[in-house]
Structure 1
Amino acid sequence: MAEEAAVSEAAVSEAAFSLQNITITDDSKDDYQYEEVSADDEFSLPEDDEDLSKALQSIHDQAEDAQIIDFLSVLTSEKSVSDIPQAMDDFFCNFLVRLGMHRTLDCFQTEWYELIERGMFTVNDAGLVPDVYTRNQQLETENLCLKKDLESYKQSVNKTEEALQKMQKERDFHRMNHKRVVQEKNRLVSDLKRLKAHYASYEPMLKQLSEKYQNSLTQKMLTSLERDKAMGQVTGLQAALESLESGYAKQISETKVGHDCTRKKGFEGPTQKALRETRQQKFIVVASSSCDPDKDAEKKMGRRDLKDSEFPDDPEGTPSFEHAKEHTQPLKSGQYQLSSIVKVHDFAVSCLDLHPRKSIVLSGGDDRLWKTWGFPDGNILLTGDGHTDWLSGCCFRPSGTQLVTSSGDCTVRLWDLSRRGCILTLRGHARAVRGCSWHSCGDFVASASADGTGKIWDVNSERCRYTLRGHKGSVNSIEFLPFSSTAVTSSADKTLSLWDVRTGLRVYTFQGHVHSCNHATFNRKGESIASCDSSGVLKLWDMRKLLPILSIDAGPHPANHVAFHRSGDRVALASSEGSVKVLSLAVGQLSILRGPGVEVRCVRFHGQDSLLSAGTDGRVCLWTWAQ
C-alpha cells in the first residue's frame, strides 16, 4: 500500500508540472483534436465560467485527499494485524494451564485433535475468542488486586488512627505531668528561698554557739588534765606513806598523767582526753567519758592480766620526732624511672613492708605466702606458709626479729624469723582481716576486719585488749601513730577515725570522702594523714586542726594504697588503672608512673630515692629517682 501511494503521489506531481497556463480563445483555429472526457473519470473539468487556476486547485486537493485515504488504509491494516484475536483452542489451553487443570487439558486436547483428524470441523470453524472475554478476565484480576489493596489500606488507616489516639493520650498525660512538675519546682524554689532566709537568721547564733563550744572543750580538757595530775600526786603520796608504814624501802617512780597502771582502787582518774605535742607541731585529741572514776578503776583492775603490757604515754618532745628531723631534708628536683622488675609471687602481691634496719623487703600475696627478699636484687630469703587464705597485710616488728601477717582466713599470725615459723595465732574476728600494723614499742598489734571492727592485741599477754567499734562498714586499714597511743582507721562507711588505744574509744571522725576509704596513713612527723578511696580521690588531713587541707581527684579508677615519703613532701598512690601516681606537695604536681600495666595493690618508699610498687601479676617494680 505504501508503494502504491508513492506511485500515485509521483504521478500527481508529474501531472502538476506538465500543465501549462494557456489562454484559449474562441477564435482559435488550430487542427488539434481534443479527446472527449467522460463523466465517470475521477475529476471533471471546470465549467465554462471557472478559470484555469480554480481547476488546478481542485485537482491538487483531490490528490491530497487520495494520499490521506491511502495512509488511513495502511493504518487500518496495521491495527487489524496487531489486534488479531486469539484462537479458541489456544485460549482454552492457556486457561487450563494457568489454573493447573492438567487432566481437563488432556481430555480437551484428545477430543479436539480427534475431531480435527476426522474432519468434522477445521480450525477456522472454531473461530476466535472475542476480546471482551479476555478483557473481562483481566478486569476481574485487577479488581481482586484492588480489593486486597483496599483491605490493606483500611487496616493501615485503622492502625494509624489507633496510634494517633494513643499519641494524643500520651501527649495529654505528659502535658499534665509537666505542669505538675513545674508547679512542684516552683513550690520547692519558694521553700528553698524561705529556708535560706531562715538559716541566714540563725547563722550568727550558730557561729556564737560554736565558739562557746570550742572554748568549753578547751577548758574542760585543761581541767581534766589538772585533775589527773592531782590524782597522780595523791596516788604517789599514798604509795610513799604505805611504804613507810610497812617498813620497806621502796623507791616510788614519778606518776605520769593518765598512764599509771599500779594505782589502787578508787584513785584512777578518767584519762579520756589527751594532749599530744611535739616540739614543732601540736595537735589535740579529745575523748568523751561518762563513767564514774571509782567504778571504772575497779572494773579495769578486775580484768587486769599480769602479762599485760603498758600502753605508751605521750610526753612532750618525744625523741622519735626529734630523730625524724634527720629525714626531712629538702628534696631534689627530678622524677622516678623504672629501674627493674622482680618476680616474687605466683599471684597478686597485696602488701609490702621494709625491714627497719636492713635492705630486706617483706611481701604477702594471694598465694597464701609471705616472703622476705633482698633489695634490690630480689633474692628470696625466707618463705612463710601457714595461712589458709590470701594475705591482706604484713608488717615487721620494730626490732626486726619478728613480723605479723593478716589474712582472709580471719586470723592474725605472728612469725619469728629466727625460728622460721608461726609463734602465735590471734583469733577473734568474724570476717576477713583487711590489714594489720605493729606499734612502734613492739608490744601491741592492731588489726582491721571486714566485720566492721578493729582490735588491739597485746603480744605479751596474747590477748585482745580492746575492740574498736564504731564504724558502720568494713574497716579496710589500721595504723598506729608512731610512738603514741593513737591509731587511725579507714572504713567502707566513707570515714576515717582516730582512736585512743589506751581506752579503746573513738576520739574523732574525719568526714569528707564520698566513696569507700581504702587506706589511711600518717606522715613521719605525725602532723598529717593521707587517705584514698575507691573513686581515686586522695585527701590530706591536718592533725592539729582536724580539718582537710588538700583533695585531689586521681580517678576514676580506685586507689588501693597510699604512702608518705620520709620527708613528708611526696605522696605515692597505688591505682587500679595500672599506674603509680606521685604527688609532690612542694610544687603541687601529680606525676604518673606506668609500669607493666596491671592493677597496683601497694606502694612503699624505700630510703630517700627509691619507690616500690606491687601488682596483681605477682611482680614488684623498683623505681629510682633520677634528676
Structure 2
Amino acid sequence: MAVCVSARIPTKPLHVLEAHELGINAVKFSPTSKLLATGGTDCIIKLWDLIGGKLHSAGTLEGSNEGITSIEFDPTGTKVLAASYDKSALFWKLDDCAPKFTLTGHSRKVTSAKFKSSLRQAVTGSADRTVKIWDLQRAACVKTINVFSFCSDVVCSEYFIVSGHFDKKIRFWDSRAASCTQEVPLQGKVTSLEISPDHTQLLSCSRDECLQVIDLRMNNIRKSFRAEGFKCGSDWTKAIFSPDGSYVTAGSSDGAVYVWNVNSGLLETCLPEQHSSSVNAVSWSLSGEYVVSVDRSRRAVLWSDI
C-alpha cells in the first residue's frame, strides 16, 4: 500500500475522459492508489486502472437499480460498499461484477454507506431520516437510529457515528446506545462529511458555500474555508481531506476544483477549465500524487503535478 508522507498539490490535468453515460456522483481511489472507482446515475460502478498517468477501463460492478450515491473501499482494496438511490446499499468483492449481497430496509434513497473500523459492520444514512447499522456477516440490520432530518452523509468509528443533515446540523451519535451526544449547527444544508486521516478532525461541506473543519477533541469549529467563485453545486457535493491531512478540496458549480491549506485556512490553488458542469465529488490517492474530480455531465479528470 502506498503511504502518503506529504500530499502534492495538483497543478495540471493528466487525463480527461467521458467516464459514464450519465452524470457521476461518486469517486474513490482504492488503498493501493492504483485502482479508481466511479459511480454514476447510470446505475453502475466503473473501475479504472491508473497506469502511466492515464485511467484505463478495468471492469464494472453492476446490480444497482438506480444511481450510485457513494463508494467506499475496504482497507484491503478488495471489497466495495456503495449507496444507491434504489433505497439500498450494495457490497461487492472485486473478483465478481455482481454484488455479494444487498442491504435493504431504508424507505428512501441511501445517501451514504461506510465500513465501520472493525469491518464486520457498515453504517448507512438515508433520506428517510434514519441511520442504520448492518452486520456484514449476516447482511442484516442490527440497529436503526432516528436522526430527525434528511441525512446527507455519515462517517463513523467503532463506537460513534456522525451524521450530516438538511436541517443544517451535524449530529454525533453513540452507536451502542443510539443516542445523540452533540449537535453542531451550521449555516447551510450539510452535503458531506469526512474524518481526517489522524481521526482528530471532521470536515464538512454545506450549501452556504463553506467548508469547515471541526476539532473532534475540543468539539469546536477550528477553521472555515471559502473562496471567491466557489459555490457548492448540489445537495451531495463531496469535500475531502488530502491523505496527509494538510489540505481540503472540493469541486464547485463553476466546474473548478478548489484546494485549501488546513493550517493557514487560505486557498492554495484553483483548477479551472476542465469541467463544463458542476463538480460533484473528488478523491485524492493515498500516495498523495493524484486527484480525480467527477462532474454532473459524466466527465472525470485526473490531476497531478507530475
Q: Same fold (TM over 0.5)?
A: yes
Are positions 1:475 and 2:156 aligned together?
no
- Choose from 489, 492, 495 the match for 2:169: 495
Are positions 1:519 and 2:192 aligned together?
yes
Which residue identity does 1:439 align to in structure 2? K
Quick one: structure 1 residues 509 and 378, their matched pair in 2 at CA, closer, same or farther if it must change by over 3 Å?
Answer: same
Q: d(CA) in 1 for partners of 2:162 and 2:49?
A: 30
Cα contact 1:491–1:518 (8 A) shared by 2: yes
Are positions 1:394 and 2:71 aligned together?
yes
Higher relative contact order (CA 8 A, sep 6+): 2
**CA shift digits 1:565-589 (9 cap, x unpaired):** 1111100012222111100124432
How many residue pairs get matched?
297
Quick one: structure 1 residues 488 and 364, their matched pair in 2 at CA, closer, same or farther if it must change by over 3 Å?
Answer: same
2:181 counterpart SS class: strand
Q: d(CA) in 2 for partners of 1:504 and 1:546?
A: 19
**CA shift digits 1:238-288 (9 cap, x unpaired):** xxxxxxxxxxxxxxxxxxxxxxxxxxxxxxxxxxxxxxxxxxxxxxxxxxx
Are positions 1:599 and 2:274 aligned together?
no
- Choose from 267, 270, 288 the match for 1:608: 288
- Choose from 357, 381, 393 the match for 2:32: 357
1:368 counterpart SS class: coil
Cα contact 1:398–1:440 (8 A) shared by 2: no
Which residue identity does 1:479 align to in structure 2? V
Partner of 2:213: 540
The percentage of aligned residue pairs carrying the same residue is: 22
Are positions 1:411 and 2:88 aligned together?
yes
Q: d(CA) in 2 for partners of 1:428 and 1:435?
A: 14
Which residue identity does 1:561 align to in structure 2? K
Are positions 1:440 and 2:112 aligned together?
no
1:596 CA displacement:
2.3
Q: Which ranges of structure 1 fall in alignment gaps of 5 or more residues?
A: 1-325
1:331 CA displacement:
5.7
Cα contact 1:486–1:498 (8 A) shared by 2: yes
**CA shift digits 1:523-557 (9 cap, x unpaired):** 00111111011121111111111011112334662
Q: d(CA) in 1 for partners of 2:298 and 2:45?
A: 12
Which residue identity does 1:550 align to in structure 2? K
1:597 CA displacement:
2.7
Partner of 2:201: 528
Q: d(CA) in 2 for partners of 1:419 and 1:612?
A: 25
Cα RMSD (Å): 2.1
Quick one: structure 1 residues 397 and 330, their matched pair in 2 at CA, closer, same or farther if it must change by over 3 Å?
Answer: closer
Matches of residues 33-432 of structure 1 in structure 2 within 5 Å? 327=4, 329=5, 336-357=11-32, 359-375=34-50, 376-432=53-109
Normalised by the size of structure 2, how large is the TM-score? 0.90
Which residue identity does 1:622 align to in structure 2? L
Q: d(CA) in 2 for partners of 1:455 and 1:593?
A: 37
**CA shift digits 1:598-621 (9 cap, x unpaired):** 110101111222111011121211
Cα contact 1:519–1:533 (8 A) shared by 2: yes
Rg bigger for which structure?
A: 1
1:522 CA displacement:
0.6
- Choose from 575, 582, 591 the match for 2:252: 575
Which residue identity does 2:247 align to in structure 1? R
Q: Which ranges of structure 2 fall in alignment gaps of 5 or more residues?
A: none
Which residue identity does 1:558 align to in structure 2? C
1:403 CA displacement:
1.2
Quick one: structure 1 residues 585 and 556, their matched pair in 2 at CA, closer, same or farther if it must change by over 3 Å?
Answer: closer
1:500 CA displacement:
2.3
**CA shift digits 1:474-512 (9 cap, x unpaired):** 10011223xx3222211101011122223322222112x
Normalised by the size of structure 1, how large is the TM-score? 0.45
Cα contact 1:351–1:365 (8 A) shared by 2: yes
Are positions 1:561 and 2:235 aligned together?
no
Quick one: structure 1 residues 382 and 503, their matched pair in 2 at CA, closer, same or farther if it must change by over 3 Å?
Answer: farther
Cα contact 2:225–2:260 (8 A) shared by 1: no
Q: d(CA) in 1 for partners of 2:223 and 2:90?
A: 36
Which residue identity does 1:485 align to in structure 2? Y
Partner of 1:624: 304
Higher helix proportion: 1
Q: d(CA) in 2 for partners of 1:507 and 1:461?
A: 29
1:363 CA displacement:
1.0
